[in-house]
Amino acid sequence: MHLGYHHWLHHRKLSGRPKRRQVSGRVARLFDESVYVAAFISVASNLAQLGKIIAAHSTQGVSIITWVGFLLGTIFWLGYGIVHREKPIIFANVCLFFVQGAIVAWLLWLG
């Protein structure tokens, strides 16, 4: 085995994963700011469904299995955000948790 390759392989085993290429500060900042826009769009989309359920007092065509799945996914992502201290993920998923939780509650109540 070539000595240089052995050193690289040993270093890779110690580090656990290869080093990531750093993204420029400008690009990273753009994504950091736009993630809040994405969170707003996600919450607004869920609010539209909740508003329709409340206004019509009907859950016809709305699947409880789908919304429970969305809620469980949101709980997972909220936990991920908390563990990794990612404020945008926490913010988005706290908002989604309340909206999706309300949708599931209405589905159970009207169902």
pTM (predicted TM-score): 0.73
The conformation of residue 96, written as its DSSP 8-state character, comes to H
What is the pLDDT at residue 12? 56
Instruction: List, for residues 44-83, the tens digit of each pLDDT value.
Output: 999 999 999 999 999 999 999 999 999 999 999 999 999 9
CATH 1.10.10.10 corresponds to the domain 25-110? no
Q: Which position has the token pair 């690009």?
A: 27
Chain centroid to Cα 2, Å, comes to 44
- The three-state DSSP-derived secondary structure of 2-61 is CHHHHHHHHHHHHHCCCCCCCCCHHHHHHHHHHHHHHHHHHHHHHHHHHHHHHHHCCCCC
In sequence order, the 6+-apart residues with CB closer than 8 A to the CB of 39 are 88, 91, 92, 95
Domain segments of the chain: what residues? 25-110
What is the pLDDT at residue 33? 83
Q: Which tokens in the block code for residue 90?
A: 């926490």
